[in-house]
Amino acid sequence: MKLRTTQPGVDSRRAGRSLSALLAAHAISQTGNVVTTFAVPFYVLGTGGTGVQVGIAAFCATAPIVIGGALGGVVVDRAGHRRVAIVADLASGAFVLLIPLLALTLGLPFWTLLLLVFAAGLLDTPGQTARRVMLPNLSARAGIRLEQSVGLLDGSERLARLVGAAVAGLLVASFGPIAALFVNATTFAVSAVVTGLLVPGAAAHNHPGDSVGAAPGPSSYWSDLRAGLHFIVQDPLMRLIVALVLVTNLLDAARSSTLMPLYAEDRLDGAAALGILVAAMGGCALLGNVMFGFVAHRFPRRITFAVCFVLAGGPSAAAFAFGAPLDVLLATTALSGFAAGAINPILGAVQLERVPEKMRGRVFGMINAGAWAGVPFGALLGGVAADTIGLSWAFGVVAVVYTVITLTPLLGGSWTMMEHDDAVRPTQDAPDAPGEEPA
């Protein structure tokens, strides 16, 4: 019998190509999201909309992320990671495409725009969750450290923001938001094709009703959903992470979805200047993602996490509050981006280590829903704050609250569980209990 001595190397290279395709699909899909965040606010402003209306549009774009995260995680576990990623991109692209088509033909009332933006974002979080859940198996087969692969996934998202911000800024400034939305719809379609052709599905845990280690017979959707919530409620570190990211995401939404577009329109050169700022942050965050992914295992997680989180929000928001010139805004935004590059690799590795593989879809969906719960309100509050207390004061509030809340991991307690020796739960391989009520 002929020995197949090269098979491990062949499998590793094949897994590496699949991992690269997954990263590419994620980057392309996220590019579409970046274009949306640019095109929609400037479309509203271009049709005579106010700051409050920009905030309402941002609310409708982010609220479905929370809903989709909470309810879609179980679908990721039951319907299949690859299938959900493809369907999510196709559905998002179809609804985005309707926005420019209606605007150019029948007309696009504000309420219709809100409905389409809401529908386009409904499956976005399940799609992102599905791609993240596929990451550990591909990484292990390719022989790549988890922190590094998480850093690469988040780096691909940062790359999307870098490219998407530059492209969206130029498109909106040169051709208007309608043209940008056509490009947006195309990116979702391309992402779906890349995933369908180049990313293999995992057969082990993707059958509807399958719950490894559960009682005999298929579990229900709602029992799986409760099991995911139960896991988060019982894990003290997961509770702290969700609470911290909920607040910071609220502040980030107020800043990026509403305050920065309004600031760019009022005091800078409009969409082009905003594109430069977002691209600078995305480029430096990409650099931080990739660099930190290779050295993350050498640093204490908790202290690195806290310091980088403070730098990721406080300095740049303070610069806007003081009305700094564009070059200073670029410098502080670049610093914030570079520091932000270390945050998600740490969080992603901790979550993947602590959550059993068979529960990752529903648990990550719940975590995303909790972390994003404040985002719609942050976008809305940003518009209200801009119209009431003014842009400078609004940025000042963001800077102060962001700095205070991101220092809390230094207090210790359950935050010490972030470290490498404590990251893996003792019960990680224990069977989950669908149907068990949350604690």
Please check whether residue 211 lies inside any domain of the structure.
no
Q: How many domains is the chain partitioned into structurally?
A: 1
Rounded CA-CA distance 375/125 in Å is: 13
Cα of 402 vs its chain's centroid, Å: 19
Residue 394 carries which side chain, given as an amino acid letter?
Answer: A
438 contact partners, CB below 8 Å, separation of at least 6? 226, 229, 230, 233
Helix, strand counts (H, E) of the chain: 18, 0
Q: Cβ distance 194 to 28 under 8 Å?
A: yes
Please check whether residue 429 lies inside any domain of the structure.
no
Tokens of 388: 């009431």
The CA-CA-CA angle for residues 413, 349, 135, to 5°, reads 155
Residue 264 carries which side chain, given as an amino acid letter?
Answer: A
Please check whether residue 436 lies inside any domain of the structure.
no
Tell me the pTM.
0.66
Please check whether residue 18 lies inside any domain of the structure.
yes
CATH number at residue 332: 1.20.1250.20
Please check whether residue 431 lies inside any domain of the structure.
no
Rounded to 10 degrees, what is the CA torsion of 77, 81, 85, 90?
A: -80
Please check whether residue 214 lies inside any domain of the structure.
no
Radius of gyration (Cα) for the chain, nearest Å?
Answer: 21
What is the chain's pLDDT, residue by residue, as a tens digit (439 residues)? 444 444 555 567 777 888 888 888 888 888 888 888 778 888 888 888 777 788 788 778 777 877 877 777 787 878 788 888 898 899 988 998 999 899 888 888 888 999 998 988 887 778 888 888 888 778 877 777 777 777 778 777 777 777 777 777 788 878 888 888 888 888 899 999 999 888 876 544 443 333 333 344 456 777 888 888 888 888 899 889 988 989 998 998 888 878 888 888 777 777 778 878 877 887 788 788 778 767 767 788 888 889 999 998 888 889 888 888 888 888 999 998 888 888 878 888 888 888 887 888 888 888 878 887 887 788 788 888 888 888 889 899 899 999 999 999 998 888 888 876 554 544 443 333 333 333 3
Determine the structural domain holding residue 378 and report its residue range.
14-201+220-422
| Alpha carbon distance, N-terminus to C-terminus of the chain | 56
Q: Cβ distance 126 to 164 under 8 Å?
A: no
